[in-house]
Amino acid sequence: MKEELIMDTKERLIVALDLAERERVLGLVSQLHDCCGMFKVGLEPFCNYGPAFVKEIQEAGGRVFLDLKFHDIPRTVAQAGRAAARLGVAMFNVHIAGGREMLRAVVEEVEDETGGKRMPLIIGVTVLTSLGAEELFNDLGIERQPLDQVLFWAEIAKECGLSGVVASPREIAAIRERFGEDFLIVTPGIRPAGSSAGDQKRISTPGEAINAGADYIVVGRPILQAVDSREAARRILREMEESRDERK
């Protein structure tokens, strides 16, 4: 059975711990662990505190999405994937732009490490939510529109055995329609009404993302920078819950 069917709303919220201060991060973990399904450890906390920090979050009761977006030659990414699986993370990601051989290598290595049991979800990063059509063309030389590029990469991810993709809220409905319910969609670029987009270009509200069919939404600054982070998370959960009811 697809994990989604047994997920309640809180399990769909992933809080991005994009902070450098160790004590603050651990404080947030204890404040928010009953309001979200996973904590995302990305480049900032990982480069500051390393794998031991992932363990600390797990010991405090948090499931971890390791967001290091591996992108390298196949062997290197496969071995990094093995190490991520050993760390016991629930999810990690790789750039689909690394190519089919890299994607197949990491899936195979993680299956070998875990014996196919308690495998972390391996998610492919498509077009970063901070990029619009202009940057995609001018900076990366990609002529497709973001939606077409996301679908192109999602197809490769699926073919190579990944569990799903990271994509912006704008592409959720098209991914869902093309790849069905058994392909996970993890969506950053989430901004509750009235909050600032910052460096994100392809955004939507939590409710819109859930309505479009996201499995997980990833939220950083709207929670981290709120005066009351717990209340901000709970407000997002309420909005997700209402949109989920509408979707039923």
Ligand X SMILES: O=c1ccn([C@@H]2O[C@H](COP(=O)(O)O)[C@@H](O)[C@H]2O)c(=O)[nH]1
Residues forming the site for ligand X (CB under 6 A): 16, 18, 42, 67, 125, 128-129, 166, 188-190, 200, 218-221
CB distance 81 to 122 below 8 Å: yes
CA angle 109, 67, 69 (to 5 degrees): 65
Q: For residue 160, what are the CA distances in angstroms to 74, 128, 155, 172?
A: 13, 20, 9, 20
Look up 67 and say whether it is catalytic.
Answer: yes
CB distance 16 to 220 below 8 Å: yes
| CB of residue 87 to ligand X, shortest distance in Å | 18
Look up 139 and say whether it is catalytic.
Answer: no
Look up 72 and say whether it is catalytic.
Answer: yes
Complex with ligand X: residue 106 or 219, whichever CB lies closer:
219
Q: For residue 74, what are the CA distances in angstroms to 22, 102, 111, 121, 128?
A: 32, 4, 15, 18, 21
The active-site residue, picked from 8, 34, 67, 228, is: 67
Question: Is 18 annotated to bind ligand?
Answer: yes
Residue entry with tokens 């600390």: 56
Question: Is 75 annotated to bind ligand?
Answer: yes
Complex with ligand X: residue 48 or 245, whichever CB lies closer:
48
Question: Is 76 annotated to bind ligand?
Answer: yes
Question: Is 191 annotated to bind ligand?
Answer: yes
The active-site residue, picked from 8, 69, 158, 248, is: 69
| CB of residue 106 to ligand X, shortest distance in Å | 17
